[in-house]
Chains A and B, each alone.
Chain A
Amino acid sequence: MMNELIFFFNNVVVASIALGSIYAVAGVGVTLIFGILRFAHFAHGDMMTMGAFLAFVLAGLFATLGWSVPGLPTGFIVMPIAMVLTAIIAFGLDKAFYAPLRKRKASSVTLLIASIGVTLIVQGLIRLIFGSGAASFFETETKQLIRIPVPLEGVTRTINFTQPQLLMVLMTIVAVTVLHLFLTRSRLGKAMRAMADNADLAQVSGINTKLVVRVTWIIAGALAAMAGTMLALDVQLKPDLAFNIVLPIFAAAIVGGLGQPYGAIAAGYLIGFAESAAIFNWSVLLRPLQGILPFEVPVSITFVPTEYKLTVAFVILVVVLLWRPTGIFKGASS
């Protein structure tokens, strides 16, 4: 039984924590932008991809210069620089595309359409510059696999995960803690929460709303680059890396309640778990119990076939939108 439980842990728990961290970190950005600026920022996925590509270029640069830290992937070392660059670009995108529309008092729908335009521009540029093929951070380095033996009798399997997955979880914890301290302790963070609650009231109370908007883009851009780079370290780097998961990220933000960073984090992990659990073959866990079960355990019991993994997030998204559009943690409404 222990072997099967470890198999479950490796295939569901590790996978869902890794995926959930990406959803959580990216979902926080989406939810913050919605809370402050009141529109669904569709280009968030492509900001993630852009961050990952910047990290890829920087990693290549570091490799040519011969700079590296033994034991850590170079892609991870350069991540902070990529985060800074993406934050600057996010700020620039706002200045170029969204700020003029906000000035015109355009509706949230217009901003949503503009963000689709930005999606296309960013994705087109990435494809134009990097081509449409896939790349890997681990062409010259090796991805370390961590195996932890379980000191129990009769256990042959080990708990397995990769080093990028471990770093991903650690970085998510750091990012969430820093964000929490920022939102609850700093003056600016409190101003941000006030503006998310009621923008007009915040403005008349003397909060510098322009500064809050700027900081929002910087935080969202940095978090997007972090999520994108970590995702590219875990899987492969492609021009549609994050465009494909932008809906699960929106699902995380909506399920958590738009405008609620903590909700987005919880919902991110929830959706990551639902996706991994839905395609897991539960027969593996039931087979050792065959002796006490009244029926024959089939070869495979999955909630959905493997091809429908992402569909799980879409179904959750649609169901939550219909059943409780404000999210399970009561979100903002515009």
Chain B
Amino acid sequence: MTRRSVMLFGLLFALFVFVGIATGVQYTTLLLVQSFAYALIALGLNIQWGYGGLFNFSIMGMLMLGGAAVTFTSSPVNPGFWASEGPMLLGRAVLGLAVGLALVWGVGRIAVKGRLKAVLVVASWAAGYFIYRTQIDPAAAYIETTSGWVGGLGLNPVFGWILGGILAAGLALLMGKICLGLRTDYLAIATIGISEIIRALLKNMDWLTRGTKTVSPIPWPTPLPQDLQAAGMAVNDSFLYARLGFLAIAALILVVALFLVQRAYNGPWGRMMRAIRDNFISAGSMGKNVTQRQLELFVLGSVLMGIGGAMLVSFQQIYDPGAYQPINHTFLVWVMVIVGGAGNNFGAIFGGFLIYVAWMTSDQVAQAVLSTVSHWSTDLGWGAIPEIESRASQMRVFVLGIVITVAIRYFPRGLLPEVRRQ
């Protein structure tokens, strides 16, 4: 680490201490746990964008998938569902999906060319979709009316985090296979589109995720405040120690991820990745498999995003697919990486912490500013500013916009720029 990064991390520590004094230790532990999760997500984006120059605007989709994974794994088992016809109907839906996909795969391999082939491919997709719909629609309606939703598996949330990473990896593999050949700005738009499709699915598949009805409470891997209280701890202390327990796991995951990523980055693999990013044509002519390597980066980064998304959901104990927004979950992470410094892992993590604290505290600052202005305008006889609270909570979007435009214009390489060794 350079002197600059030691200094900036020192300032960041001071900022957290200041926030701790101003808002209380309890709120700061909450902020810290979520910052660690976001730092992990920012590290994931740094792998994709900083190492590989790959545009990924589907962070929201990855986080949602991670959240769905931990919800499914760690929620209590729903005995009503397993006792009903539901599993059988779902099995038929899966079979229907398999038949549909087999049809599409089979038609894709028929040795016809030209217009007839195009017609056949489109028809096979339509038929496959039709077969799947005839099975899933009654299954979904049946589960939603009889047992509500499929429930969970009742496992430890850590398994859910792992599953979140795996699901995000699967999605990234699929997306990478079909989209990575696109030009950057098209790739950006395509990934936003895919992330919106995932949001629509998870929000409306009530049988699987309970949709906007939300799932809660989702268990923690560490003891909850209520558990500590049951063991005889005071209420205030219980929140602090429970969150510190969660924080320890979050910090451990981030440190391990950072260590592995940092080693890979400084090794031959990282050098190859930077070579591909800076000039993929020359890297390709040196015999590097550019597409395959880019796919690796895309998957690796998405794994961290999936785990981070799962951690956030377990910490908040509620999975609400309706609460995910591109601004809060995709663009926020982009601002973290750009402000922190793309291509520098410490920069991405620094940006994750800094931007998250700014994002979470800016409405309180805005509220203070607005009430001061309001007092002042009342004294002048212009009247008070109406609805200060709801306005102030919107301030963060504006602040985020200012931060990203200023950063991209004046510090395009971030606060902790990539270190280029010759």
Chain A contacts of B183 at CB under 8 A?
Answer: 325, 333-334
> Does B401 contact A124, Cβ atoms closer than 8 Å?
yes
User: Smallest Cβ distance from A141 to chain B, in angstroms?
Assistant: 24
Chain B contacts of A117 at CB under 8 A?
Answer: 401-405, 408
> Does A101 contact B409, Cβ atoms closer than 8 Å?
yes
Chain B contacts of A101 at CB under 8 A?
Answer: 408-409
Find the residue from B178, B188, B338 having the highest chain A CB count within 10 A: B188
> Does B395 contact A124, Cβ atoms closer than 8 Å?
yes
Chain B contacts of A314 at CB under 8 A?
Answer: 193-194, 196-197, 200
* B372 within 8 A of partner (CB): no
* B307 within 8 A of partner (CB): no
> Does A250 contact B189, Cβ atoms closer than 8 Å?
yes
* B379 within 8 A of partner (CB): no
> Does B398 contact A120, Cβ atoms closer than 8 Å?
yes
Interface residues of A in 45-60 (CB under 8 A from B): none
CA–CA, A119 and B327, complex, Å: 10
User: Smallest Cβ distance from A236 to chain B, in angstroms?
Assistant: 18
* A235 within 8 A of partner (CB): no
With A311-B196, A311-B200 already in contact, the answer to whether A121 and B398 are too (CB < 8 A) is yes
User: Smallest Cβ distance from B182 to chain A, in angstroms?
Assistant: 6
The number of chain A residues with a CB under 8 A from chain B is 45
The segment from B30-38, B278-286, B386-394 that touches chain A is B386-394
With A113-B408, A132-B394 already in contact, the answer to whether A118 and B188 are too (CB < 8 A) is no
> Does A247 contact B196, Cβ atoms closer than 8 Å?
yes
* A180 within 8 A of partner (CB): no
> Does A322 contact B185, Cβ atoms closer than 8 Å?
no
Chain B's closest residue to A96 (CB) is B405
* A220 within 8 A of partner (CB): no
Interface residues of A in 111-152 (CB under 8 A from B): 112-114, 116-125, 127-128, 131-132
With A114-B405, A119-B401 already in contact, the answer to whether A247 and B184 are too (CB < 8 A) is no
User: Smallest Cβ distance from B60 to chain A, in angstroms?
Assistant: 13
The segment from A184-192, A285-293, A302-310 that touches chain B is A302-310
Chain B contacts of A208 at CB under 8 A?
Answer: none
Interface residues of A in 273-300 (CB under 8 A from B): none
CA–CA, A325 and B183, complex, Å: 9
Chain B's closest residue to A251 (CB) is B193
User: Smallest Cβ distance from B376 to chain A, in angstroms?
Assistant: 17
Chain A's closest residue to B331 (CB) is A116
* A317 within 8 A of partner (CB): yes
* B186 within 8 A of partner (CB): yes
> Does B391 contact A131, Cβ atoms closer than 8 Å?
yes
> Does B397 contact A116, Cβ atoms closer than 8 Å?
no
> Does B391 contact A128, Cβ atoms closer than 8 Å?
yes
* B365 within 8 A of partner (CB): no
* A80 within 8 A of partner (CB): no
CA–CA, A47 and B288, complex, Å: 44
* B12 within 8 A of partner (CB): no
Chain A's closest residue to B325 (CB) is A240
User: Smallest Cβ distance from B192 to chain A, in angstroms?
Assistant: 6
User: Smallest Cβ distance from A316 to chain B, in angstroms?
Assistant: 9
Instruction: Provide the A79-114 mask, 1 if CB < 8 A to any CB of B, else 0.
Output: 000000000000000000100110000111110111
With A250-B189, A311-B196, A321-B182 already in contact, the answer to whether A116 and B398 are too (CB < 8 A) is no
* A12 within 8 A of partner (CB): no
CA–CA, A317 and B193, complex, Å: 7
> Does A310 contact B200, Cβ atoms closer than 8 Å?
yes
- Name A121's contact: one of B188, B196, B390, B401 (CB within 8 Å): B401
> Does B193 contact A113, Cβ atoms closer than 8 Å?
no
Chain A contacts of B5 at CB under 8 A?
Answer: none
> Does B401 contact A307, Cβ atoms closer than 8 Å?
no
With A97-B405, A100-B409, A120-B401 already in contact, the answer to whether A310 and B196 are too (CB < 8 A) is yes
User: Smallest Cβ distance from A80 to chain B, in angstroms?
Assistant: 29
> Does B391 contact A307, Cβ atoms closer than 8 Å?
no
CA–CA, A97 and B178, complex, Å: 33
Instruction: Provide the B198-232 mask, 1 if CB < 8 A to any CB of A, else 0.
Output: 00110110000000000000000000000000000
* A155 within 8 A of partner (CB): no
Chain A's closest residue to B184 (CB) is A109
> Does A131 contact B390, Cβ atoms closer than 8 Å?
yes
User: Smallest Cβ distance from B394 to chain A, in angstroms?
Assistant: 4
Chain B's closest residue to A325 (CB) is B186
Chain B contacts of A23 at CB under 8 A?
Answer: none
Interface residues of A in 306-330 (CB under 8 A from B): 307-308, 310-311, 314-315, 317-318, 321-322, 325
User: Could you jot down 9 A-B contacts, CB within 8 Å?
Assistant: A113-B404, A120-B401, A121-B405, A124-B401, A131-B387, A131-B390, A308-B204, A317-B189, A321-B193
Q: Which residues of A contact B (CB under 8 A)?
A: 39-40, 97, 100-101, 106-110, 112-114, 116-125, 127-128, 131-132, 247, 250-251, 254, 305, 307-308, 310-311, 314-315, 317-318, 321-322, 325, 333-334
Going nearest first, the 3 A-B pairs with the smallest beta carbon separation are A124-B398, A120-B401, A121-B401
